[in-house]
Structure 1
């Protein structure tokens, strides 16, 4: 696997999942690539997505999902609701 920056990981997630993620870490931290081929199911909760897809990549670092209103949605919010919150 290739190592990528937090900014690149955020970009890869946005391209596939269509959600904005902000990872809080230092500039030199490297991560594995976001190797998923299909985006998460529309009824996946934000918490489930974070714990199953993102946390294994970022480890102890923290990240925040940001919706189209610039806020962090509740963990039980479906990922599709967050995707639909952005202006298209």
Structure 2
């Protein structure tokens, strides 16, 4: 799958925005999880267990609903809420 498709697959399943530093057409492993990661995982845990393993060392940044980079200890439920908060404002 391409970088663009990977970013979109993550958004659709996880509800989390990623920015991957690579040409949008570059190929990476599929994001083939069937369920979203548990809400009590941290951003760092999630990146380590689900994202970095598929991106072969590419630089990736998580962006919250305010366009900011969240702290690595931010829980996924709190991160996901930032996207909803922006829509409601």
Q: TM-score, normalised by structure 2?
A: 0.90
Local SS of the residue matching 1:21: strand
Q: Whole-Å Cα distance in 1 between the matches of residues 4 and 58 of structure 2? A: 14
Partner residue, 1:80: 77
Q: Whole-Å Cα distance in 2 between the matches of residues 28 and 70 of structure 1? A: 23
Superposed displacement of residue 6, structure 1? 0.5
**Quick check: 1:11 aligned with 2:2?**
no
Query: Which of 9, 21, 24 lines up with 1:24 in the alignment?
Result: 21
CA RMSD of aligned residues (A): 1.0
Query: Which of 37, 42, 48 lines up with 1:45 in the alignment?
Result: 42
List structure 1 runs of 4+ shifted beyond 3 angstroms.
none
Q: TM-score, normalised by structure 1?
A: 0.91
Partner residue, 1:59: 56
More helix by share: 2
More strand by share: 1
Q: Whole-Å Cα distance in 2 between the matches of residues 13 and 27 of structure 1? A: 15
